[in-house]
């Protein structure tokens, strides 16, 4: 069995849990193929584009985890705000 784990760093804990559960259940044929990317470089790419019109990022999980309600180096650099989800 191969579990494809793809997503931003916020998906990494769930993917790690799949490994933990596979070991707990004694699965011998479990593999994890991951492709995680980081949020800050993706935001940097979006914000540095000349066509960019982003004014805010609404992302509850990141705001709650990192306390980024409008305060982060990227927010300060590009003048956008983190809002508390919708």
Residues counted in the chain: 86
In this structure, are strands 56-58 and 81-83 parallel, antiparallel, or unpaired? parallel
Residue 16 clears pLDDT 60, i.e. is over it: yes
Q: Is there a single domain that holds both residue 33 and residue 53?
A: no
Report which DSSP code applies to 32: E
Residue 18 clears pLDDT 80, i.e. is over it: yes
Read off the pLDDT of residues 43-56 as tens digits, 9 standing for 90 and up.
Answer: 888 888 999 888 77
Q: Is there a single domain that holds both residue 27 and residue 45?
A: no
Read off the pLDDT of residues 56-68 as tens digits, 9 standing for 90 and up.
Answer: 766 555 544 555 4
Q: Is there a single domain that holds both residue 68 and residue 80?
A: yes
Q: Is there a single domain that holds both residue 4 and residue 32?
A: yes
Q: Is there a single domain that holds both residue 29 and residue 48?
A: no
Q: Is there a single domain that holds both residue 1 and residue 27?
A: yes
**Predicted local distance difference test score (pLDDT) of residue 70:** 44
Q: Is there a single domain that holds both residue 19 and residue 5?
A: yes
Structural domain for 83, as ranges: 39-86
**Predicted local distance difference test score (pLDDT) of residue 69:** 47
**Predicted local distance difference test score (pLDDT) of residue 66:** 53
Residue 36 clears pLDDT 80, i.e. is over it: yes
């Amino acid at each position: 069995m191969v579990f494809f784990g793809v997503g931003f760093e916020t998906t990494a804990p769930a993917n790690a849990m799949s490994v933990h559960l596979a070991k707990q259940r004694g699965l011998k044929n479990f593999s994890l193929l991951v492709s995680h990317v980081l949020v800050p470089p993706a935001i940097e790419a979006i914000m540095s584009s000349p066509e960019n019109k982003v004014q805010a990022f609404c992302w509850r999980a990141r705001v709650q985890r990192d306390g980024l309600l409008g305060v982060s180096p990227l927010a300060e650099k590009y003048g956008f705000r983190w809002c508390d989800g919708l």
